[in-house]
Structure 1
Amino acid sequence: MLMAWQWVHGFHPLAYAASLFLAVGISVIHHNHAHLPMWTRRHPNRATDLAITLLQGHPTCVLHPAHRLNHHRFRHGPEDAARTWRFGDHNHLPGWALHPLQAAIAVYPLVLTWLRRLRRHRPAVWRWYIAQYALWLGSWALLLALDPGKALGLVIVPQLFGLHWLLAANYLQHAHADDGSRYGYARNFEGWLNPLLFNIGLHTAHHEHGRAHWSQLPRLHRRYRERVDPRLLERGFARYVLRVFVLGPFAPALRSRSLRPATVNPENPHKDRC
C-alpha cells in the first residue's frame, strides 16, 4: 500500500522508511511461511505464496531447497552451502554486506538442480513453481514499462532491501558461531527485535524446532538458553550492531571472536576436528 501510495502521490521519506521496514517484515513472513504454512488447506497457502512472491520480489518456493533442505539440514556445518565461514571466518560490516550476494551464488545451483529434478519427477509441482517465477518477473516487467524510475526506486529497491536482510540474517545469526557445538551454531538476539519481527532473533529454538509457530519461540528459547554459550546470547540487536560493526573496527576489544576451533581448516572443512 505504501508503495502504491507513493507511486500516485510521490516520494515521502517517512512512507519510504516504513516501506523498507515492512519489506524486512515480509522477508520474515516469507521465512516463517516456508517453515510452517499459514493455512491448513492448499488453495489459501498457494494464494499466500503468490502474494509473498509479489511483495518480496522473488518466488517463495526458493526457500525450500536453499534454506530448509540446505541450511536447516546442515546447521551451518561443512555441507551447508551458505555457511558464513565458507567466505572467510569473519564477522564485520563488509562481510555482512557481501554475504547475501555470496550466499545467493552458492545456493542457486541447489535451487536449479532441485527445479530440474522436479521437472522430471513432479512436473505439476514444477509448473507451479515456474508460475511463481513468471509472476515475479512479469510484475517487474510491467512496472518498469509503466515508469522505470518509480518501479526501481519505489518497488524494486525496497524489495531488494528486504531480500538482503533475508539472506544477511544468516550472517548475523551464525558468523563466528561454532557449527561443531551442539548448541553453539547460532547467535540469539533478545530484546525488542523479537516482538517487532515475529521472534526472528531466537534462532537456536527455531533451528531445534523448525516447524514451531513463531509465537512458541520465546518459551522454547527459555528451554535452550542455559545450554547456549553466553557469547552467543545478545541482549539487543542494536547494541550488537553498534559494538561489532560500528565500534569494533576501531576498538579491538569490542570485535567479535570466532568460536570455531582453530584446528578447523577452511580449505578442508570435512576434516574431523579434535
Structure 2
Amino acid sequence: MRHASDWRQLFVVGAYLTMLVLLFAVPEARHPALLAAACMFSFFAMTVNHNVMHLGLFEDRRLNRLFRLVLSFCALFPVSSVIPSHNLVHHHFDDDGQPDWADPHHARFRWNLLNLLHFPNIVGPITFSHINRWQRLTGKADYRRQATLESIVAFGFTGCLLAYDFWTTLFFVLVPQLWGARWFLRVNIIQHDGCNTASEWNHSRNFSGRLLNWFSVNAGYHTIHHNRAGLHFSQLPAAHQKECAPRIHPALMEKSLLVYLAKTYLLRFSRPGMVDVGEAETRAPTVELASREVRRDEAEVASAGV
C-alpha cells in the first residue's frame, strides 16, 4: 500500500463485503440493523472508491485495477466511470465552459426534499450519457477495457446471485449496492448546493464530524480535496485547518451531516439561497493555489496513472 493509513480503506470495504456475505448466507443474520449497517458501509465503500480514483491504494497498478473490480461489485456500476465524471469534469465545475454533469441545479423541485431524493434519478442518466460520449470521442482503449471488465464483474456476479437466490439477493445484496451508489451521487447536491462554485474557497460544504470522517475516510473535508486533489485522505484534516478554515464562510462548515440533512431537507420546504461568501474570501491572507486549468491538467495526468 502507498500509505500506512490505507488499512482503514481496506477495513471499510472488507467490513461491507462481510456484511453482504452474512446477509446472503446466514438467515439468522438477516436483521434490519445489519441491513442498515450494510447500506451505510456501501456508501462508505463509495467514498473509498472516490479516494482511490484520485490516488491508487497500491503501488502496483495491477492491484489497483483488481481492487476496482471489487469496488464495482460493491456499488453495481463500473467504478472507473468516476474518472471522467468526477476527476475530469466535476472537480472543475463549469469553469472550462463545459457543464458539471452532476450540478445541483439539475434538480429543480420547489420542495427541497424532492431535490435530494430524486437527484440520482436526474443526474445518473445525464452522467452516464456523457461518460459514453467521452469514451467514444477520446478513444481510450485502456479505459474501455477496464470499464468493460468492471461491468462484467459487477453485473455478472450480481446476476449469478440473483439466479441462485433471487429474493435474498434482491433485498440483502442489491438494496445495499444501490443505496451506496445513489447516495454517492447525492453527495454532489449536499456538498455544493447553495455554494459559489466560482469561488476558490467557498465552492463546497464541509462536515467535520469525527465519526463520519473516520468511516468515510475524511470525505467531509471537501474544499481542500477540490483544491488539492492529489492529497492523501489522511492529510486532508490538517490541510483543511491550515488553508481552508480561515477562508470558509461559517455556513459552509457543518459539524454533523445528519443535522444538516434534517434542517435543510426535513425542517424547511424551499431550497436555501446562495451563501454570501464575500467577507470570507477576503478576511485571510492569500494562499498560493494553482489555476483551475493547471489543476485540471494535473488531475488528468494523475487519473491516467491510477
Q: TM class, shorter-chain normalised? A: 0.7 to 0.9
What is the distance in 2 between the residues matched to 1:203 and 1:147? 40
Give SS of 1:65's match: helix
Structure 2 residue 45 is matched with structure 1 residue 22: no
Which residue of 2 is the match for residue 62 of structure 1? Answer: 81
1:49: how far off? 0.9
What is the distance in 1 between the residues matched to 2:62 and 2:239? 31
How high is the TM-score relative to the length of structure 2?
0.77
What is the distance in 2 between the residues matched to 1:236 and 1:137? 35
What is the distance in 1 between the residues matched to 2:227 and 2:36? 34
Runs of 5+ unmatched residues, structure 2: 1-17, 278-306
Which residue of 2 is the match for residue 180 of structure 1? Answer: 198
Which residue of 2 is the match for residue 268 of structure 1? Answer: none
Structure 2 residue 218 is matched with structure 1 residue 199: yes
Q: 2:149 aligns with which of 108, 111, 131?
A: 131
What is the distance in 1 between the residues matched to 2:101 and 2:143? 24
Runs of 5+ unmatched residues, structure 1: 262-274
Letter in 1 for 2:215: L
1:88: how far off? 3.0
What is the distance in 2 between the residues matched to 1:221 and 1:124? 35
Which residue of 2 is the match for residue 142 of structure 1? Answer: 160
What does 1:242-261 correspond to in 2, within 5 Å? 242-249=262-269, 256-259=272-275
Which residue of 1 is the match for residue 108 of structure 2? Answer: 88
1:122: how far off? 3.9
1:188: how far off? 0.9
Letter in 1 for 2:19: L
What does 1:101-180 correspond to in 2, within 5 Å? 101-117=121-137, 121-180=139-198
How high is the TM-score relative to the length of structure 1?
0.86
Contact preservation (8 Å) 1:176, 1:260: no
What is the distance in 2 between the residues matched to 1:144 and 1:134? 15
What is the distance in 2 between the residues matched to 1:101 and 1:26? 21
1:196: how far off? 2.8
1:227: how far off? 0.9
Structure 2 residue 44 is matched with structure 1 residue 44: no
Give SS of 2:119's match: helix
Which residue of 2 is the match for residue 9 of structure 1? Answer: 26
What is the distance in 2 between the residues matched to 1:75 and 1:210? 17
Instruction: Kindly provide the CA deviation profile for residues 169-212 of structure 1, in whole angstroms up to 9, marking residues without a partner as x.
Output: 11110011112222221111112321231111111011001121
What is the distance in 1 between the residues matched to 2:220 and 2:111? 17
RMSD (CA atoms)? 2.2
Letter in 2 for 1:204: T
What is the distance in 1 between the residues matched to 2:45 and 2:183? 10
What does 1:226-245 correspond to in 2, within 5 Å? 226-245=246-265
Which residue of 2 is the match for residue 209 of structure 1? Answer: 228
Which residue of 2 is the match for residue 272 of structure 1? Answer: none
1:174/1:75 CA distance change after superposition, 3 Å: farther
What is the distance in 2 between the residues matched to 1:157 and 1:63? 21
Contact preservation (8 Å) 2:191, 2:204: yes
What is the distance in 1 between the residues matched to 2:188 and 2:106? 13
Contact preservation (8 Å) 1:188, 1:232: yes
What is the distance in 1 between the residues matched to 2:119 and 2:34? 28
1:124/1:241 CA distance change after superposition, 3 Å: closer
1:125: how far off? 3.9
Letter in 2 for 1:2: M
What is the distance in 2 between the residues matched to 1:144 and 1:218? 41
Letter in 2 for 1:103: V
1:75: how far off? 6.3
Letter in 2 for 1:224: C
1:185/1:29 CA distance change after superposition, 3 Å: same
Contact preservation (8 Å) 2:162, 2:170: yes
Give SS of 1:201's match: coil
Instruction: Kindly provide the CA deviation profile for residues 80-99 of structure 1, in whole angstroms up to 9, marking residues without a partner as x.
Output: 12111233397832111111
Give SS of 2:89's match: helix
